[in-house]
A = this chain, B = another copy of it.
Amino acid sequence: MTLDDILEQINQAEKIVILTHENPDGDAVGSSLAMYHALKAYGKSPDLIIPEHPRVFDCLPGINEIKTQSDIEHYDLAISLDCATIKMLNGFSKYFENAKVKVCIDHHSTNTMFGDYNYVNPAAPACAQILLVVLEYFGIEITKEIGTCILAGIITDTGGFKYQGVTAETFEFVAWLLNKGVDVSKVYRQVLQTKTKSNFELNRIASDRIEFFENGKIAYTYITKEDEEKVNAENGDHEGIVEIGRDIEGVEVSVFICQTSKGCKISLRSNDYVNVSDACMVFGGGGHPRAAGCTIQGTIEQAKEKVLKEVSRLL
């Protein structure tokens, strides 16, 4: 059983590092922090090294203990959370690659099993929800602190308890958290609902640009680098934009292109039947059947043409 092996590795390790994917979302940050608190409670002193996160997550317990680098070159154990490929560890993959033992805990169906031990459950709506099972198996008590971080991961990765992957366990866990005194409503508001002014402005610009294709089954919009500069956008200020199109009646796939210095970042969301992960895989990306992403080089117009062609094929 993988979890027994992982626990054994944790027991044996002295220097542990926790890592997650680039451009970390709520599940990445929440899962990492939950694991961090859990390992500390278990008597370990892990390092949590994750990239710059959207400031909506500053409310989470332990957020100030995140490191952005480490002098330790060879950790005894590296644990990657919510990350589908080693490439997505980006600048931090060295800590993973150089570790004696590598563990991967994730819920992406496109996970490449890049650890020595991989605990990957694509049926879980969030990596954070997997931790509920993992920590219980390890005999680590879910404190209010750990529960809050897990909750942040679940809320963000289920779009606020609304995506199809959400399970009875999700809701039972939230009921339990509420009974423990966690202000679920406050956490929800902080990590998912509240928009920064820049995020609001980007949403407004993207809304104004929405175009429909294939009889309204595809909604398309984009944000340029100039838009971002104009509204002083920060990391995380694109949250919610791809959902604008997805939530319009009749739309099956929402396409959002965000121009970055590394190319056009494509986000796809679908409602009922299109596996958008398939479309992203064509361009070297991936994700979940209803939420996926990739990067395409070239102008926004070129990227738009390529991605719309792929998505149309899947309708």
Contact = CB atoms under 8 A, between A and B. Distances in A.
A175 B185 contact: no
A250 B169 CA distance: 34
B161 A194 contact: no
Contact of A188 (B162, B184, B186, B216): B162
Contacts of A270: none
Interface in A205-260: 207-208, 210, 216, 247-250
Interface stretch (A21-29, A89-97, A196-204, A302-310): A196-204
A145 to B, nearest CB: 19
B193 A247 contact: yes
Given A188-B162, A204-B208, A248 B197 contact: yes
A189 interface: yes
Contacts of A175: 168-172, 175
Contact of A207 (B167, B172, B203): B203
Contacts of A200: 207, 210, 248-249
B160 A249 contact: no
B160 A167 contact: no
Nearest to A155: B162
A172 B249 CA distance: 30
A interface, over-half SS:
helix
A203 B247 CA distance: 12
B160 A195 contact: no
A164 B160 CA distance: 14
Interface in A147-187: 160-164, 166-172, 174-176, 178-179, 184-186
A161 B207 CA distance: 25
Contacts of A98: none
A216 B195 CA distance: 13
A249 B195 contact: yes
Contacts of A184: 166
B195 A247 contact: yes
A162 B179 contact: no
B247 A194 contact: yes
A30 to B, nearest CB: 17
Contact of A160 (B160, B194, B207): B160
A9 interface: no
Given A172-B171, A196-B249, A200-B248, A161 B163 contact: no
A160 B188 CA distance: 10
Interface string A7-18: 000000000000
8 closest residue pairs by CB, A with B:
A171-B175, A168-B178, A168-B175, A171-B174, A171-B171, A162-B188, A164-B185, A172-B175
Interface of A: 160-164, 166-172, 174-176, 178-179, 184-186, 188-189, 192-197, 200, 203-204, 207-208, 210, 216, 247-250, 271
